[in-house]
């Protein structure tokens, strides 16, 4: 059976691509359910070292919800990734600047806690790297909450592109 081209590509961006963005990929993939097969959900980091696994603490909080980050390997953000994405969601404003510097269309590039508008900008997703288990749990809770708002928009984009 030939593989099909994904109908919609989502890219999550953080700093090291070992904590927040892999968690966001897991959350969106889980939230989309069977629709995830028609989408490409990936992640990258503005300062990532290629090939690193997700942190043990990130893997632990995902595993607490029955999700695995075992296959994740970090990737440094590139212009090709940016140009290939239909929707880019970054964790912090600093990431937004890095992504747009690589040529991202501002109309399809957003801070995770702010999109879709009005979002919840009072609930940013701080970097838990090197922090306590509680810091990872709080980041995970916020990521899951923000992704719940995104799922309907990705599903609508998939429906529109399959019509």
- Residues labelled as active-site residues: 14, 20, 127
Q: For every residue of 104-163, which 3-state class applies, written as one string?
A: CCHHHEEEHHHCCCCCCCCCCCCCCCCCCHHHHHHHHHHHHHHHHHHHHHHHHHHHHHHC
**Of 30, 28, 52, 31, the residue nearest 41 (C-alpha):** 28
């Amino acid at each position: 059976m030939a593989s099909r081209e994904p109908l919609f590509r989502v890219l999550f961006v953080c700093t090291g691509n070992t904590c927040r963005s892999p968690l966001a990929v897991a959350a969106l993939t889980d939230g989309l359910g069977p629709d995830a097969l028609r989408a490409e959900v990936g992640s990258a980091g503005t300062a990532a070292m290629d090939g690193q696994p997700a942190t043990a603490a990130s893997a632990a909080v995902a595993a607490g919800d029955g999700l695995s980050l075992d296959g994740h390997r970090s990737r440094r953000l590139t212009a090709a990734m940016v140009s290939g994405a239909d929707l880019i969601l970054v964790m912090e404003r600093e990431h937004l600047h890095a992504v747009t510097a690589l040529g991202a269309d501002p109309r399809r590039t957003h801070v995770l806690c702010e999109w879709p508008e009005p979002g919840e900008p009072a609930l940013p997703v701080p970097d838990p790297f090197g922090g306590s288990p509680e810091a990872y749990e709080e980041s995970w809770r916020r990521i899951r909450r923000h992704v719940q708002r995104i799922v309907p928009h990705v599903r609508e984009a998939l429906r529109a592109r399959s019509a």
